[in-house]
Amino acid sequence: MNNPGSNNTFKPPHALVPTPKLYDELVGDGMENLAKGTVAGILPINPASVVLDIGCGTGAGTTAVLDAVSHSKTDKAHITIKGVDIHEGALDIYKKKAAEHKWPAEAIKADASNLDTIADATFTHAIGTAFLFALPEDGVPAIKEIYRTLQSGGVAAFNSWAHVPNMDPLRVASAATRPEGTPEIRGGMDKWEDAEFLRGVIEKGGFASEKITMRKRDVYVTGTTIQRYATMLWSFIGGTTKAGWLESDGEKWDEAIEIVEAELRKADGFKELEGGRLRLKFVANIAVARN
């Protein structure tokens, strides 16, 4: 969800605390829209299917699975979903949603790279939404676990961002408000823009190349007001460099937020909606792999 690159504990007074609830507000409907596009690759989901929602977070993937099942008129009561995540706070929200919406889902706290409590060939389907890039070794150990726990003939879907409109604004703000030589925000993410990099990770996890299909999909994200969005975005990611937050970030907070806002407005696909809310266009790489 938020992976600081530094042990520096300083935080500017105006920075919002990264929490699962704030993350849900930041991503708006983006994770659910990404998950819907990803789940489309593993359909149909039939009665008696057992689905792994790996890196489930607060439930975007599970929501997408159950929406797809409802539209197909399949009885979701006979489907089993296991939502796995390592973040207790995210799982608390997942459990609350599961209870409220009567999901046929179980929340499991586990490291995606070590699903030792789950037997081989358990799942008919698996979905991993926006999680591989946050894992050690590019998520290859997690892919191996998914491959191990997927039944013969089972299908898994993964994704990465081919284009995100909100990273360049952060980099521009960082370069403009921080001393020369300050580490760049979120270095190493660019490689995930290449669909073949995602394919390679999945192959290293055990899936045969000829059983992996790739496609791109536009994902539109509707959020809050642009000022609130810029503040959340800078709070979440601005301090994730190897240097962490700088003392000067507190003094230049307002300047950084103004730059992020201005740069977001320049992004391809940006639209300001009624009420001041914003819409951004992301592009996803979606991979479907069969066992």
pTM equals: 0.88
| Residue 6 domain-assigned (yes or no) | no
Looking at residue 1, what is its pLDDT?
46
Contacts of 273 (CB under 8 A, 6+ apart): 222, 279
| Residue 10 domain-assigned (yes or no) | no
| Helices 20-27 & 88-101 angle (0-180, nearest 10) | 70
| Residue 8 domain-assigned (yes or no) | no
- What CATH number has the domain bearing residue 232? 3.40.50.150
Q: How many domains does the chain have?
A: 1
| Residue 5 domain-assigned (yes or no) | no
Q: What is the pLDDT along the chain (291 residues), one digit of tens a residue?
A: 455 556 778 999 999 998 888 988 999 999 999 999 999 999 999 888 999 999 999 999 999 999 998 877 666 668 999 999 999 999 999 999 999 999 999 999 999 999 999 999 999 999 999 999 889 999 999 999 999 999 999 999 999 999 999 999 999 999 999 999 999 887 667 899 999 999 999 999 999 999 999 999 999 999 999 999 999 999 999 998 889 999 999 999 999 999 999 999 999 999 999 888 999 999 999 999 999
Spatial contact of 96 and 71, defined as CB atoms under 8 Å apart: no
Spatial contact of 234 and 257, defined as CB atoms under 8 Å apart: yes
Task: Look up the domain containing 245 and give its range.
Answer: 20-290
DSSP 180: T
Nearest to 249 by CA among 267, 265, 231: 231
